[in-house]
Amino acid sequence: MPTLDRHDAVFVLDLGDGENRFHPEWIASVDAALDEMEKSEGPRALVTAATGKFYSNGLDLEWLAAHGDEHLDYVNSVHGLFARFLSLPLITVAALQGHTFAAGAMFSLAHDFRLMRADRGFWCLPEAEINIPFTPGMSALIQSRLTPQTAHQAMVSARRFGGREAAAAGIVDQAVDEGALRTTALELAQAHASKAGDSLGTIKTRMYAPVLTKLRDTTNPLG
Amino acid sequence: MPTLDRHDAVFVLDLGDGENRFHPEWIASVDAALDEMEKSEGPRALVTAATGKFYSNGLDLEWLAAHGDEHLDYVNSVHGLFARFLSLPLITVAALQGHTFAAGAMFSLAHDFRLMRADRGFWCLPEAEINIPFTPGMSALIQSRLTPQTAHQAMVSARRFGGREAAAAGIVDQAVDEGALRTTALELAQAHASKAGDSLGTIKTRMYAPVLTKLRDTTNPLG
Amino acid sequence: MPTLDRHDAVFVLDLGDGENRFHPEWIASVDAALDEMEKSEGPRALVTAATGKFYSNGLDLEWLAAHGDEHLDYVNSVHGLFARFLSLPLITVAALQGHTFAAGAMFSLAHDFRLMRADRGFWCLPEAEINIPFTPGMSALIQSRLTPQTAHQAMVSARRFGGREAAAAGIVDQAVDEGALRTTALELAQAHASKAGDSLGTIKTRMYAPVLTKLRDTTNPLG
């Protein structure tokens, strides 16, 4: 389960050391961590990180297969997670130390900045390969954060981007040596902690208004 | 007239060896080829190619001048061609061996990928020079596939991009030696043939929903 | 106060030699210059330039503090300035010789092309730092001209881009030696003077229709 820690002004949300898929309890735990963080005042920023081979593999397809009747509620809760991150009133940095796939990759795009380990691990949207179309909300999120060329290639060809390729394509902001990844993420977050506040929240909410509308359309999340 | 051929899983649509302008019969012939292709099942992908000096020079202005009363129907049919390509449920690759101008350039943008001969030929939107404004649908198509900076430069300055410049600007995915162009296109298409299917169609349809809406607005195609 | 000059087909609008903030009289003076320019016929283009340390520092916050009751009218007049530039029926080139900040930076984005002095001066959107959220119209303008990654970084982190960094990020089209800046801008404008006319106006108006709608929404400019 995700855990929240704090270093000076920077909160660190550890997503776990497994595949870190979005089980309903995992999502509830992330939401609780954000609730706790939002109670604090003053300069603050957020780093999300994980340990092991995966940053996150996205949707919990196993749980979903066993709970088909809760499909729409589940999609809405994932959309809600993306929307919440996309509009957080503080700077968020994703430290991608391992595989970042599917909804895990989308989750990373809902952060302000992404750093990725340079030598190992892939960022990938495999949906076209595994025959799961992106929801309109997911599509809008991805397209709002990548250039048209990169979004198209990532979404229709399921290309696996290594760290350096992801940086070259503008998917992540920087590829970093494994040993320096978490420190670099903490420093970047610390440098922008003073920007936390309502203005930043308003800036992000206005920038991504059409995406947030789609992600929060709970009556018809599958389009 | 365009002809359809097949190599393993890859269909090759040859656009012709002239200027390959969009005469109504040329459009009907492309549509018929797509109809035939869509009847097939299993892994498949599409390469469009041409021979000679031109990939395509776009609208058939000569025919249009002689059929002014069919102007709107003609624009709608061109928009329909773009919309159909943009949402085809298989991977499409344009092999640009020669000049790719105006609506020919837009047609290339409706493909998933573009490869362009490196040493000769231009990709160009001359509309600002010849005083033919882009329709809202054309504008939306171009802007959905290029970065804002590239779209703006291409659309207001009528810049002619050579192969390497087009690759650097993200207009095409790769500039390729003339001798390797068709082979590279076939290999790229073959590599993604397994992605053909409804999911891919849905992915593309959702990605470009606002563009498709404009291209299919047959009541007011000129805005 | 801004002054209008002419060199062959190129109008040069000098924004001033101070901070060149958008005082209401400054805006009226720019509008009058554009009115005069639009009376001319034939090939023409526009360069905006300034002298001294600043290109423009944006909103006149001092005037605004003293005229709180005119806040909405003032925002509408700034939005109107952006909208007018964004849709001018001729090619516009901003020659950024000095600091280009906040609404001054947005003003530069409403031009067709931007050239920036390479060795000194910054292009910056400090809004996230000074707690002034972008209006929806401003946000739409910025996001319509920059890649998602660059827009996001510029808007949430208030990064100061030097000339070479701004060119690398696609914010400006070229970083130029100080001595060559105005000449290069004049040459670029002259090269495209023949494109002036209604078609170019229509092309730009259609490209930025959603942005123009937001900038011209005078009933609710703050969202």
Q: What is the pLDDT of residues A112-155, one digit of tens each?
A: 999 999 999 999 999 999 999 999 999 999 999 999 999 999 99
* Predicted pLDDT at A82: 98
Crossing angle of the two packed helices C24-39 and C71-86, in degrees rounded to 10: 30
Q: What pLDDT band is residue A182 in, cutting at 50, 70 and 90?
A: very high
Mean pLDDT value across residues B54-70: 97
Mutate to test the interface with A, among B109, B206, B212 (most CBs of A within 10 A): B206
Mean pLDDT of chain B: 97
Q: DSSP string of chain A? A: --EEEEETTEEEEE--SS---B-HHHHHHHHHHHHHHHH--SS-EEEEE--SSEEE--B-HHHHHHTGGGHHHHHHHHHHHHHHHHT-SSEEEEEE-SEEETHHHHHHHTSSEEEEESSS--EE-THHHHT-PPPHHHHHHHHHHS-HHHHHHHHHH-PEEPHHHHHHTTSSSEEE-GGGHHHHHHHHHHHTGGG-SHHHHHHHHHHTHHHHHHHT-TT-TT-
Q: What pLDDT band is residue A215 in, cutting at 50, 70 and 90?
A: very high
- Residues in chain A with CB shorter than 8 Å from the CB of B108 are none
Topology of domain A3-215 in CATH is 2-enoyl-CoA Hydratase; Chain A, domain 1 (3.90.226)
Give the tens place of pLDDT for each residue, C74-105.
999 999 999 999 999 999 999 999 999 999 99
Q: How many cross-chain Cβ pairs, B to C, lie less than 8 Å apart?
A: 58
Tokens of C73: 């009218």
Neighbours of A214 (CB within 10 A): 21
How far, in whole angstroms, is CA C101 from its chain's centroid?
Answer: 10
Instruction: Find, in chain B, the residue whose alpha carbon is nearest to that of A137.
Output: B206
Instruction: Find, in chain A, the residue whose alpha carbon is nearest to that of B207.
Output: A139
- Asked whether the beta carbons of residue B139 and residue C91 sit closer than 8 angstroms, the reply is no
Residue A126 neighbours by CB under 8 Å, 6+ apart? A101, A102, A158
Angle A190-A195-A196 from CA coordinates, rounded to 5°: 90
- Residues in chain B with CB shorter than 8 Å from the CB of A148 are 144-147, 170
Tokens of C185: 């801008």
Residue C23, classed as helix, strand or coil, is coil
What is the spatial distance between Cα B170 and Cα B165, in angstroms, rounded to a whole number? 9
Residue C101, classed as helix, strand or coil, is strand
Mean pLDDT value across residues C26-37: 97
The 8-class DSSP code of residue C69 comes to: G
- Asked whether the beta carbons of residue B152 and residue C112 sit closer than 8 angstroms, the reply is yes
Give the tens place of pLDDT for each residue, C154-208.
999 999 999 999 999 999 999 999 999 999 999 999 999 999 999 999 999 999 9
Mean pLDDT value across residues C112-128: 97
Q: What pLDDT band is residue B150 in, cutting at 50, 70 and 90?
A: very high
Looking at residue B92, its amino acid is T
- Residues in chain B with CB shorter than 8 Å from the CB of C92 are none
- Asked whether the beta carbons of residue C203 and residue B134 sit closer than 8 angstroms, the reply is yes
- Contact in structure between A142 and A171 (CB atoms under 8 Å): no
* Predicted pLDDT at C223: 82
3-state secondary structure chain B: CCEEEEECCEEEEECCCCCCCECHHHHHHHHHHHHHHHHCCCCCEEEEECCCCEEECCECHHHHHHCHHHHHHHHHHHHHHHHHHHCCCCEEEEEECCEEECHHHHHHHCCCEEEEECCCCCEECCHHHHCCCCCHHHHHHHHHHCCHHHHHHHHHHCCEECHHHHHHCCCCCEEECHHHHHHHHHHHHHHCHHHCCHHHHHHHHHHCHHHHHHHCCCCCCCC
Mean pLDDT value across residues B183-194: 98
Q: What pLDDT band is residue B223 in, cutting at 50, 70 and 90?
A: confident
* Predicted pLDDT at C160: 98
Q: What pLDDT band is residue B149 in, cutting at 50, 70 and 90?
A: very high
What is the spatial distance between Cα B183 and Cα C188, in angstroms, rounded to a whole number? 39
Give the tens place of pLDDT for each residue, C139-152.
999 999 999 999 99
A183 to chain C, closest Cα gap in Å: 19
Share of residues in chain B with pLDDT > 90 (%)? 97
Place of tokens 């270093």: A7
Considering only CA atoms, give the Rg of chain C.
16
What is the spatial distance between Cα B14 and Cα C71, in angstroms, rounded to a whole number? 60
Neighbours of B184 (CB within 10 A): 17
- Residues in chain A with CB shorter than 8 Å from the CB of C131 are 197, 199
The answer to whether residue C111 scores a pLDDT higher than 90 is yes
Q: Using CB atoms and an 8 Å cut-off, which of residues 98-127 of chain A contact chain B?
A: 127
Cα-Cα-Cα-Cα dihedral sign, residues B151, B157, B158, B164: negative
Rounded to two decimals, the ipTM of the complex is 0.97
- Residues in chain C with CB shorter than 8 Å from the CB of A206 are 133-136, 139, 223
Which of B199, B126, B127, B157 has the alpha carbon at shortest distance from C189? B157
The 8-class DSSP code of residue C169 comes to: T
What is the spatial distance between Cα A160 and Cα A2, in angstroms, rounded to a whole number? 26
- Distance separating the N- and C-terminal Cα atoms of chain B: 31
For chain A, the structural domain boundaries read 3-215
The answer to whether residue C3 scores a pLDDT higher than 90 is yes
Give the tens place of pLDDT for each residue, A37-78.
999 999 999 999 999 999 999 999 999 999 999 999 999 999
Give the tens place of pLDDT for each residue, C41-67.
999 999 999 999 999 999 999 999 999
What are residue B199's phi and psi, to 5 degrees? -60, -45
- For chain C, list the strands marked E by DSSP: 3-7, 10-14, 45-49, 54-56, 91-96, 99-101, 113-117, 123-124, 160-161, 174-176
- Closest by Cβ to C133, choosing from A173, A192, A202: A202
β-pair type (B123-124, B160-161):
antiparallel
The answer to whether residue C118 scores a pLDDT higher than 90 is yes
Crossing angle of the two packed helices C198-207 and B148-157, in degrees rounded to 10: 160
A147: contact with C, CB 8 A cutoff: yes
* Predicted pLDDT at A223: 82
- Contact in structure between A178 and A52 (CB atoms under 8 Å): no
